[in-house]
Amino acid sequence: MKTRIISAIVAFAIFIPFLFAGGYYFAYLMLVLGAIGLYELARMKKIEYFNIIGIISTIALAFVLLPDHYFLSFLGRGHQQFIFYIFCIILLVFTVIRHETFNFEEAAVLVFSILYIGFGFRFLISIRDMGVETIFYLFAVIWSTDIGAYFIGKAIGKNKLAPAISPNKTVEGFLGGLLSAFIVGSLYIWIVNPNLGGANHVWILTIALSLVGQLGDLVESAYKRHFGVKDSGKLIPGHGGVLDRFDSTIFASFMMIIWLNFFR
């Protein structure tokens, strides 16, 4: 527990200045974290990544993850989807060139991982561009969900939520996460009053983000169990890798960007 607390404080101290700075600082931090997350998934699949395959995949990730205005004009402004597709084709070509060490299944895992990670972090950048108070709301909901689920589940959890996927998660912890998120999210909205649109019904967003975030956590548990690993990586001692810390946030970012597009 001591290691988890210390490493969480250090990670928080590094992350928060980028969050406040926004713009290119936050966007390119997300690209770095996304690239580490992509490496973690490749490592779980036992794909050799520190070679031309990894370079191509990381470039493809950049064209998914970074919104249009964070590219220099000569790097493909307005043409990211087309360039991403080209790099996907190149990956498929390497299933021929390097057929003994790189196959279609591995290429498919990389392409899907690029989309999963890339859009998740891209939406975080877009939400940050809407204002620091907006993205802080998202993190407040996700972090309070995680904390509430952990402590309430540890204190009174008895009924397993998904024993085949994540034996330590309980129904009580799941409900505790929802309750914690609702309380913290409501207080944040009352005190900060972020522009989330649909003010009379924004509590629905809080519950939805908490639900989807916990689903994202379960999804990551499922693919870690499939690959036979405990943590996605070892970047943060006591917490695991990038995907271990951002699994809930990636899923929640999809839900929040949908809400903001409809109501803000």
Can you tell me the mean pLDDT for 210-217?
95
- Is 170 found in the same domain as 115? no
The count of domains in the chain is 2
- Is 159 found in the same domain as 112? no
Tell me: the pLDDT tens digits for 36-91?
A: 999 999 999 999 999 999 999 999 999 999 998 887 654 555 578 888 999 999 99
Q: How many residues does the chain have?
A: 264
- Is 189 found in the same domain as 256? yes
Provide the pLDDT confidence category of residue 264 given band limits of 50, 70 and 90.
low
Answer with the one of 106, 129, 152 that is the final residue of a domain. 129
The stretches of 103-241 forming alpha helices (DSSP H) are 104-129, 132-156, 171-192, 202-227
Show the domain range for 109. 1-129
Lowest mean pLDDT among 126-140, 161-175, 187-201: 187-201
- Spatial distance between the Cα atoms of 131 and 129, rounded to a whole number of angstroms: 5
- Is 109 found in the same domain as 16? yes
pLDDT, position 200: 66
Comparing 96 with 1, the larger pLDDT belongs to: 96
The three-state secondary structure class of 46 is coil
- Is 115 found in the same domain as 147? no
Tell me: the pLDDT tens digits for 81-99?
A: 888 999 999 999 999 999 8
Answer with the one of 114, 129, 144 that is the final residue of a domain. 129
- Is 183 found in the same domain as 94? no
Comparing 8 with 166, the larger pLDDT belongs to: 166
Answer with the one of 129, 164, 185 that is the final residue of a domain. 129
Can you tell me the mean pLDDT for 125-153?
94
- Spatial distance between the Cα atoms of 91 and 261, rounded to a whole number of angstroms: 33
Amino acid (one-letter) located at 221: S
- Is 184 found in the same domain as 157? yes
- Is 138 found in the same domain as 119? no
- Asked if residue 222 has pLDDT above 70, the reply is yes
- Is 180 found in the same domain as 124? no
- Spatial distance between the Cα atoms of 228 and 233, rounded to a whole number of angstroms: 13
Q: Report the percent of the chain where pLDDT is more than 70.
A: 93
